């Protein structure tokens, strides 16, 4: 039987960038699934505080050279890769000088939320899917971690729904505790629209706050993971009302439960474990 192909998209992962518990989950979960026989790919942004020399990143020339269009502007996409020797896993990093070459991740040295976090999010989500296309690798399951991946489910279910790379992919979104209280740019939901999308496809993102990012992602996902104890009540209610297969928080510490969940999601035998 062919291996289940699992794509992990995240904005942080240990040991490269450790901001929240997402970094630990995205380090341990793919290795646990690889040991169960899954084929794994991992994508994350190449933020400026990730040390290239220490982590032995190098550019992948054959994948680099694409341009990601945001608000009619062309933004070059550079792809780098690093290995985790202990796990025999490769991590692909998406880089862009304007968006990611900064000392800080989401806030400046005065702790001010970057004004272009909306465009950085759009760039990362679009770039991630274009990178996977260029890899020529079709994932069975795409698992998105963290608010910066929130547009990926929407794009897979609209622009990319007939694309050979993603047309059979199932999308899982992990909801974590809200990690910013500000709002993204008010035009985020408009800038995020891609080919073959309408304003309705990004309407859930209109508020541009953390809750709306989660709700927009859940709207377009096939299944949901409650990855935190402290999830906002409105988001929890939305998950419950959506009737989507859900992996409950108390099961997320046991990676075996992810294995069963992924297999069910990939095989359309969707059940809720909440």
What is the model's pLDDT at position 253? 74
Q: Which residues of the chain have pLDDT under 70?
A: 1, 252, 268-274
What is the model's pLDDT at position 1? 57
Q: What count of other Cβ atoms lies within 10 Å of the Cβ of residue 13? A: 26
Domain ranges of the chain: 5-266
Would you say 230 and 254 are in contact if contact means Cβ atoms under 8 Å apart?
Answer: no
Whole-angstrom Cα distance, residue 267 to residue 184? Answer: 36
Q: Supply the pTM of this predicted model.
A: 0.94
What CATH number is given for 5-266 in this structure? 3.40.50.2000
């Amino acid at each position: 039987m062919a291996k289940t192909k699992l794509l992990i998209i995240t904005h942080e992962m240990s040991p490269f960038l450790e901001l929240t518990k997402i970094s630990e989950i995205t380090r341990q979960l793919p290795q646990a699934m690889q040991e169960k026989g899954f084929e794994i790919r991992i994508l994350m942004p190449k933020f400026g505080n990730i040390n290239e020399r220490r982590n032995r990143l190098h550019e992948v020339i054959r994948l680099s050279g694409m341009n990601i269009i945001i608000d009619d502007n062309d933004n070059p996409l550079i792809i780098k890769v690093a290995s985790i020797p202990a796990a025999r896993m490769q991590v692909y990093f998406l880089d862009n000088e304007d968006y990611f070459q900064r000392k800080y991740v989401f806030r400046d040295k005065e702790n001010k939320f970057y004004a272009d976090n909306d465009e950085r999010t759009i760039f990362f989500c679009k770039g991630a899917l274009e990178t996977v296309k260029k890899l020529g690798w079709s994932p069975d399951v795409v698992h998105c971690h963290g608010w910066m991946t929130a547009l990926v489910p929407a794009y897979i279910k609209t622009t990319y729904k007939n694309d050979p790379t993603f047309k059979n992919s199932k999308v899982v979104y992990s909801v974590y505790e809200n990690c910013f209280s500000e709002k993204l740019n008010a035009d985020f939901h408009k800038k995020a629209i891609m080919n073959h999308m309408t304003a309705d496809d990004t309407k859930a993102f209109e508020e541009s706050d953390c809750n709306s990012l989660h709700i927009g992602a859940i709207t377009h996902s096939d299944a949901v993971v409650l990855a935190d104890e402290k999830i906002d009540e409105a988001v929890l209610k939305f998950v419950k009302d959506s009737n989507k297969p859900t992996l409950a928080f108390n099961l997320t510490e046991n990676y075996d439960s992810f294995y069963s969940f992924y297999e069910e999601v990939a095989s359309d035998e969707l059940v809720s474990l909440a």
